[in-house]
Each structure stands twice: as C-alpha cells, then as structure tokens.
Amino acid sequence: MDGNAKNILPVGAIDGGETLPTKQSDIKMSAYSSWGLTDDGRMKPDLVGTGDGILSSSANGDEAYSTLTGTSVSAPNVASSLLLLQEFYTQQMHGLRFWQSGLFEPTKIRLYDN
C-alpha cells in the first residue's frame, strides 16, 4: 500500500534502541526509513518509533530472541504507544468513551511539538 493513501498512518523508524534521546537533535531518521513531502505537500511519515537494534522474539525456538532492525519493528512500538494513550484516555473518561478518530490528529500534532 502506498504511504500516501488516505486514512492510513505511515510509521517511520529512528535510530536508537539502547539510549533514549534527551533532546530533539538526538533524534535521527534511520537510513532505511523513507521520509519527506508527498505530492500534495504533506510530510510523511506521520509518526516514528525506534526501529534499530530491537530485541525481539525469534522463530528459531520457544525461548529464542534476535536483534531486529526496520520499520517492521518500529510500527509495533508506535501502535503500542497509541494503545496506551487510548487506555489512558478511556480511564480519564471513566470508561465512557473510546478515543474517537478525530482526536488523533490534534494529539499527533501535540506529540510533534514535544
């Protein structure tokens, strides 16, 4: 699927893994992760997560692990972070509402600012 399609959330990868960035200048896009302007001027990807040197389970056995790199490991990082935000929002609303899709865009913009 094209990362420029409507109603999708393209996820990119940043370098890191072992240390957390302490300032914005510490955050570097990974060389293998695409980024830039789309034909209609939107900046992509929408969100990024650490995708370099991530310890993950492996198909080599029940207790096997390997170090992985790529947007395929940064996407679960971003998805789980968004799920935690959803859970927090639901708790604050006393379980009455799910996070509506219209709330995501301002939240994403706020995340960019921090």
pLDDT digits (tens, 9 = 90+) for 63-107: 999 999 998 888 998 888 888 888 887 888 766 666 666 666 655
Q: pLDDT by residue (tens digit) across 60-71?
A: 988 999 999 998
Strand duo 65-68 + 43-44: pairing: unpaired
